[in-house]
Structure 1
């Protein structure tokens, strides 16, 4: 069993050494989230043209007797602004609609700014600052990391720190880039 595990780790390291990490916008993913309850999520992003990206996510959250569905759909606009430390870093504006349904129903909008930076050929970092009008209006500062196992598969994780009484959010999942 230990030999199989060791060989598996070596194969994964070899594959990941050949993977490339550029800001990748075309992907679908799924995983686990812990926000105003916890549960599964699915998400996707698709580049419409050079500057516009459509994205959406759906999460089914449960917290004791409380159940909710969270649906977000929006657009990102790549600014084309270059930051001095890396030509591959992308800055963007984001905005969209957020809907909560279930035991609590509310719809609102969100808007913000973000940055994506390929740190190494296998690692991409991102950070976003957003303002949400849903549930007592709140600000959010999110950061995340993507580790590319292969050019097509990645592991993703992020943490969003929210202002006010809005619970912070954690996500961990896998994605397929196309």
Structure 2
């Protein structure tokens, strides 16, 4: 597997403020930059979600033909560094971003859900502020579903299981306390 050694500039840290000296280690701070190299492979470039990265690269760089830039890399048409640069420049709305986040929601979706929740609360607050004295209060709305929240059918199943466990615990306690049961 091909490896690429990319120079990475690391600048020395100096002390700041009154009474602080320069760096406590030898050879740094004398005006020369510290240059380190990092070695990486194509697996490092593709990251934790190689299929999503490859799909995004093929989608955003169609000029590389069938297979996209990854195939072009394996054919020797582009360098590993150029493949890394393209992978690092992928947009935050592509397949890689969805794979990393675990859902397809964008910032606009989150903002719309927050706006809907706020509007629902404002409407309920307005209705409760202007209701009749003898009218019951309108209950507060449930928040909008978001990724990571349990689905409504999953919530019902969990609630039923909790009720069954509570009933079983109640029966065990009654069996221990009441001798005839």
TM-score normalised by structure 2 residue count? 0.21
Q: Taking CA–CA contacts closer than 8 Å with sequence separation of 6 or more, which of the two structures ends up with the larger relative contact order?
A: 1
User: Which structure has the bigger radius of gyration?
Assistant: 2
Query: By percentage of residues, which structure has more strand?
Result: 1
